[in-house]
Amino acid sequence: MSKFSFENLPQLQIINHEQIKEIHENAMEILGTSGVRFEYHKALEILAAAGCQVDFDTMVVKIPRDLVEDSIKKAPETFSLYDREGNFYCEFGDGQPRFNPGSSSVLVLDRDGLTSRSSTAMDLIAITKVAQAMPQIDFVSSSVVAEEAPLQLGSQLIYLTEIKHSKKPIIGGAVDEAGPKRTFELLKAVRGSEAEVRNKPYTIFDICSVSPLSYSHIGASNIIDCAELDIPIELICASIAGATAPVSLAGALLQHTVEILAGVVLSQVVKPGTPVVYGGAPCTFNMKTTYTPMNSIEGDMIRCGYGVMGKYYGLPTHTYAALSDAKSIDYQAGFESGRSALLATQAGFDNMSGAGGLNVIAEMSPEKLVMDAEVIGLIKHYKKGINMSADSMAKDIICKVGPGGSFLSERHTLKHFRQEYNYDCDVLNFLDRPAWVKQGAPDIMTNARAKVDNILKDNSNYIDTAREAALDQAFVKICLEAGIEEPEQYIKYSKSEEQWEKETK
């Protein structure tokens, strides 16, 4: 992937080449003349030393064009990710679409599919295990906040739980300044050494800007610490068009570009070559209802626009997709989730967060995550395109069968049907009506509940005893350093009820 190039843009290009250059030029002007605020003195000092014009009173940093463009060139086009066991998992940014559940939901949609409640540690375990079990979902994520988690250490309890229940890489983050360093200690406990954590990245750290045009003390600090600790960064601009960003889609897209590039600069000044993902979670402000939908069609347009900008800069890209603003698992939920996932895939995003999410990602549902996973599988199959080989073209078979014949008994059909079609669907309904009725006429929620129940019974991916003990010990040490008394009481929340009961008997 080339930097500042039109050669590797995605299939879906909602803005043309001239418009891309116009956004870039305007972004360079804003960064150099208006600037971005970094509310962290250490960040101000670092940027001043790199040649930026810094006002230490207002904390506004004006970044020269050459530094911005040099930082883009230094940020890698792809980077390797590894799983819990230290095995190579994927080359992030290689052009393949990957998905993970939504993040930081306060609520969970209950099993009736209609009512919501506060999220718990058991919900985190359920979503993590579903994400691990569904092959269409590539990463696990900090899906829910879990009401039992201590406020000042919630991020580490989430990491502790996800590491124990899944082998897949983690899309995570922190809510405080100490988050990256504390998380690093947990990663070191499971990997066995600092070198293993640095050389084989196992997590990507989400870090948000504060729209308009700011990075908080926590955000700027997290960028610096992640760069110094060799933790890949996913920069997120979560602006609300019409409220914290211009109401015009072009204006929202331009501001998004400015905020993300400012974060790229800080990461590369701290440590050139730091893996950084060009991400976002844009919302729009509905002037009619005052609601801030994350999955409006206008939000999709902003997403597809900044996705093109990220590819123009030669950076891996991220967005939110496969989620819905609906409050129940209904027609709107299915339509919005499928639409956003397909558009984001066509826009070339490397990572898409949001599967299982509802209500501006404020709610999560394990059942919806299963449904979304199957739809994602179909979209990934679509992304592969049509095999145009001579064997797949089947000219000779068409001639052999001839007019009025049948292809069912042909060896060519037996050879190709599993490759050409996706059959990895357990909850979507592809039965004729008599067969469906014979099964009891289950709706999709009934099928999804049954699938989730089966997944939750499986503990085969739970971490081994030795590494669990090392993790728990590291977590206790982190808690004590944070001033949390009796930290052992929180460790039980990282285990399923069955595991906890078994250990306490």
Indicate the DSSP class of residue 464: P
- Closest Cα partner for 211 from 254, 147, 264? 254
- Does the pTM exceed 0.85? yes
The predicted structure's pLDDT at residue 503: 60
What's the average pLDDT block by block, 10 residues per block, for the chain (505 residues)?
A: 80 90 98 98 98 98 98 98 98 97 93 91 96 98 87 85 97 93 97 97 97 98 98 97 97 98 98 98 94 94 96 97 96 96 96 97 96 97 93 95 94 93 93 95 96 95 96 94 86 79 57
Residue 136 is classified by DSSP as T
Give yes or no for a contact between 274 and 267, defined as CB atoms under 8 angstroms apart.
yes
pLDDT (0 to 100) of residue 372: 98
Cα distance between residue 78 and residue 75, in whole Å: 9
pLDDT at 41: 98
pLDDT of residue 153: 77
Q: What local confidence, expressed as pLDDT, does residue 150 receive?
A: 74
Domains of the chain: 1-385+425-496 (3.20.20.480), 390-420 (no CATH)
d(CA 23, CA 258): 9
